[in-house]
Structure formats: C-alpha cells, structure tokens
Copies of this chain bind each other. A is one copy, B any other.
C-alpha cells in the first residue's frame, strides 16, 4: 500500500476537487501535446509524399499548407463556439448526442475511442523512432523504450491531470520557445538576404525527380499533412478538467495551442521553401528529419540544435498525454449514459478516472507489442477518426445554431454568424475526411471503417445489458413483510473446532432450524473411529448444551461424497431444503480461516471459495451465503511480545514498589493507597 502511495501519491479527498482542476498553463501540456507534436510530423508527412517531385517538392509545400492553415483557422473558431455552447463538456460525443441523436453520438464516441488509442501508440512509437534514429545503439530496445514511456505517462496520469500538466510543462515550453526562436532566426535570415539565405549546414541534395506535379499528388500531400491537425478537438473533449470559469480557461488553452501550432506550421513551410529542404527516405542510411535539416540550416549543429531536437523528441513521445487527459473523461460520460462499463465512471484515488487511464494504457501497450514498437502502418488509420469526429462535431453545432435560431429571436445575428462558421467548418472537414478516406483507403483507412461500426455495436450491446439488468432489478413495490420466517441454516462442518463452535452459536442466535453437514473421509484405517468420535463430540458439545439452553439442537448430516467434493452434495442439500420449505430462505454458513499472507494461500485448501462460487452460481434465488471468518494470530509474534513483557514486568514491579515506599511528591497519590 505504501509503495502504491509513493508511486501515485496519497488518496485525494472529494473536498480537494477544486484545487485539482487545471488552468491554461497546465492545459497546454495536458491537452496540447498531441497538437504540438503534430507540427513535428505534419509537414514531414506532406513533404514525404512530395519526394518524387525532387527539389520542386519544397516549392509546392505552400500549396499544401495554405489550405491546412485555413482549415485550422475554421476549426479554431468553431471549437471556440463549441466550448462556449457546451461549457460543462463540449466533446464531440456530447455535441452529437444533443443535436444528432444517439446513433450520431455513438459514431463520434467510437471514432474518438479508436483515435485516442491509436494516438497513444503512434505518438510514443514516433518519439522512440526519432530517438533511436539519433542514437542507433538503442535500436534493439525500441519496444522496451516504447513500453517504458507508456508506463511513465500512465503513472503520471494516474497521479492526476494536474500532475501531468505540471510535469510535462517543462519539455512543452522548452519546445515552443526553441522552435519559435529558431523560426524567428530563420525568417530574419531569409528577409535579410532577400529570400536567398545561406544554410549554416546545407540540407542534403533532394531526391531524383521521378514524377511530374499533379492534382492527385498534392491532394495526397494535403491529406497526409492533415495529421498536423489532430489534437485540435482535445480541448473541447476535456473542458471538465478546467477550473472555473471553464469557458475562459478552455478558450485560453485552445487559443494558445492553435496559435503555436499555426505559427510552427507556417514558419516551417516558409523556411522549408526558402532553404530548399525536402523530405528524405526514412529507410535509407543517413536519414534526417525535416526539423533536423531545418535546425541545421538555421543555427548549425550547436547545443541549441540539440536542445531543440531533444525537446521536439520529448513532445513527440509525450503527445500520448492528450489521449490520457481526454479518453478517460469521454469514457466517463459514455459510461454514465450506460454505453460503457460503469467502472469507467468511478472516480479514482487521485480524482481522475483511473480505469479509463489503465484501459487506454493496456490497449495501446498491446498495439505496441503487436507491432513491435513500430506503428508507422497505423498512421493512415488514425487521421480518419480525427476528421470524422471534426465533421460530426461541426455538423452537430450547425444543428445547434439552427435550433437556437428557431427557438428565440435573441442574438440572431450572432447565431447566424456562428451557424455559418460551423457550416463552413462541417463542409471543409467533411470534404477533408472524404479526401483522407479516398487517398488512404488502401493504406489502411478501411480498417478504421470496419472497427468503428464494430465499436458502435459493442457500445449498444453494453447499454442493452444494463437496461436489461435495471429492468430486472427495478422495484416499485414496498417491502413485502407479510410472511417473513427465519431462514433454514446449513453449516459446513469440517471438524469440531472453535470456528465450527462460533458458526453454530451464531446460527442458533438467528434461527431454530440449523443443520450441519460433515463430509466423511474417503478411506483410511482410522475412518470408522474418527466418525464415531466426531458424532460423540457432536452429541456432547452441541446437542447437550443446546437442549440445556432450551434451543432446538442442530441436526448433523454425515455425507459420503462419491466425488470427494462438497459443493455438489451441498447444492443438493440446498435444493432438497428449498423443495421441502418453499417459502423460506436457505442460508449456507461457511466457516473460513482468513488468509492474511500469501503463504496461507498455499497452505490452506480453497474449499470455501469453491463452495461459495458453486452455490452463488447454482443455488437459486432463495439462497444466502454467510462467511464466518476466523483470524489465526501469529503466535510467534505474540509469544515474543509476551516474553518481552515478562522480562520488563519485573523491572516495572520493582520500580513501582520503590515508588510506593517513598512518600509521594504527587498530590493525592497518598490518598490512593489509603
């Protein structure tokens, strides 16, 4: 327990809830790492598609990035509105539920769930891939590194979102500072050399031209570059994590993330074009990422280069944190609606939804293990989910404003503008989704399109189960107490000991009808004598005292189990008693030695547990189980204390004797001895 305490921190009380909410400072690391990390691979992904264009690739990046930035602006404005309209929780699930109905909300939830799990696996493995390409000796430990980072992020998030936000603020703000400075330096160079800067370290020569520019290649570059936008929805899904006023902190966090992301994307695109940087084939030796080429070109290979690249790597590896902030919060809402297991809505030790965090870690860990830490192939899968969610959320907002307009005349102009913005957002993100699905269908987007419907079916069947259970348990009638009778009690009596004694005394205190069932030994030379002795003991130690206390003596059943198991004959006895007394409850009493250490699990048979399981499963509705526990004390320990006590006792006695002989200096002490 104390190890858990050291790892996760002390349990937090409900009254500490408000102090544990986050502001914008922690909000950017907690929810923005996915978005900011995207800046590291978004431009790279777009440029990779442009490799066949050779040196011309760098010139076309502007055509690809401009619509992405425009889309980002639209998303920013519309998510601002979403946060304001749904200040308690504006996630795609909630927005869809309110405006598009249950099926729409489940589609959004399923898409987001798949997306968050993929984001964790892809983010961590991208960070580790960058790390092992920088330090090749680590290559053999790719999977171990991935799992270590996953475990680290999981533990930090189990400590709470505030802890994660504070701890990850350092790499986040170093990254932001370094790259904004780097881009500023680069832009200054470009402007001061009239668009012809000299690279400190020249980027490698571009690849051979193998393809002419065309619409399809630009479309594919655009859809790859769109991965830079995943993570923008994060703030709206996690509004509940902010302190009051939530809308203010949500807006601030969203604004900060989008502004930084936009600056990074625009700056990178501009400098890539100016320095003539192209993407390199990752599978070739001497591979350098676009960010590494850019930093080398602007500042050379000095300490600043290494700091910037290391912070980029950290942000990439920690981009999983966004999922850890949002996934459990979304699952909680879905669970409260009954579409996901209830335990996802249970507030954990540190006031976060621990089950969601653990589930996310396990699912992502399995993905990492299955793909051996290299999840490149999963990237096409995961932009689909993000853009599907964007579209759902925007469409939901369009309907929301439409309803507002029909409902009241207030703020008409404002609502019309909002509707227009969200309509544009829905149309563009919808179009982008179609482009992504079309361009990435063969690469794996089809898998997402299979998984999401399956997830929806699962969510619906969970709800069905809960509804069914609730219907069976619903109770509109008052307690029926017309013919309550004491239960018939059946005690499992292995041998005659204090445990059996305790169980019998308790049984006689609650019912006049007590049976004890004793399993006969299978064979052995002393079998007959043992049985006789047991029966005699029973008569002397149970029947006689019961009669003396004017109680109906318990009846003893001696059973010879043909299959050496007590659960089946016990069940048969229960059935027989139930048959005999149709309106009484049968209570089976199982005396049990409480196991306090692992060695006791090895030394005691687990009959009590097996009997419990069998009776619960097949004992029918009129059965109650009772556990009469017995604690074995560690007498060695007690003996030691007893000995120590004895050795001290003489001293104490002597001291007392001396004290009593002397006239007391404490007032009233003499009265005591009168």
Contact = CB atoms under 8 A, between A and B. Distances in A.
A453 interface: no
A669 B501 CA distance: 60
A485 interface: yes
A341 B466 CA distance: 43
Contacts of A545: 478-481
A413 interface: no
Given A497-B475, A626-B626, A481 B505 contact: yes
Contacts of A487: 506, 509-510
A478 B542 contact: yes
Interface in A617-649: 617, 619-621, 623-633, 635-636
B468 A635 contact: yes
A355 to B, nearest CB: 9
Nearest to A501: B475
A528 interface: no
A417 interface: no
Contacts of A522: 14, 347
A485 B506 CA distance: 9
Given A469-B593, A497-B474, A602 B541 contact: no
A673 interface: no
Contacts of A612: 627
Interface string A477-516: 1111110111100000000111111001110111100000
A560 to B, nearest CB: 8
Contacts of A624: 506, 626-629
Nearest to A565: B11
A303 interface: no
Nearest to A476: B541
Contacts of A92: none
A545 B482 CA distance: 9
B498 A475 contact: yes
Contacts of A477: 501, 541
Contacts of A606: 343
A653 interface: no
A523 B627 contact: no
Interface string A542-571: 101110110100000000111110000000
Copies of the chain in the assembly: 2
Interface in A581-603: 585, 587, 592-594, 596, 599, 602-603
Contact of A478 (B462, B540, B561, B585): B540
Given A505-B479, A624-B627, A626-B626, A341 B602 contact: yes
Nearest to A636: B468
Contact of A342 (B341, B508, B549, B603): B603
A516 to B, nearest CB: 11
A452 to B, nearest CB: 20
A152 interface: no
Given A541-B477, A562-B13, A625-B627, A506 B585 contact: yes
B497 A473 contact: yes
Contacts of A633: 472
A657 interface: no
A418 to B, nearest CB: 25
B465 A603 contact: yes
Contact of A631 (B481, B485, B621): B621
A580 interface: no
A544 B606 CA distance: 43
A113 to B, nearest CB: 15
Nearest to A596: B617
A604 interface: yes
A377 interface: no
A630 B342 contact: no
Contact of A480 (B475, B505, B562): B505
B341 A635 contact: no
A276 B404 CA distance: 105
Contact of A462 (B13, B471, B474, B603): B603
Nearest to A17: B523
Contact of A541 (B462, B479, B623): B479
B629 A616 contact: yes
Nearest to A524: B336
Interface string A447-469: 00000000000000010011011
A406 interface: no
A626 B489 CA distance: 12
A468 B599 CA distance: 14
Contacts of A510: 486-487, 510-511
Contacts of A499: 473
A474, A564, A633, most chain B CB atoms within 10 A: A564
Contacts of A347: 522, 564
A14 B605 contact: no
A200 to B, nearest CB: 53
Nearest to A504: B479
Interface of A: 11-15, 17, 341-343, 346-349, 462, 465-466, 468-469, 471-475, 477-482, 484-487, 496-501, 504-506, 508-511, 522-523, 540-542, 544-546, 548-549, 551, 560-564, 585, 587, 592-594, 596, 599, 602-606, 612, 616-617, 619-621, 623-633, 635-636
9 shortest A-B CB distances, which residue pairs? A481-B549, A473-B497, A510-B510, A13-B562, A625-B627, A484-B509, A478-B541, A479-B545, A475-B498
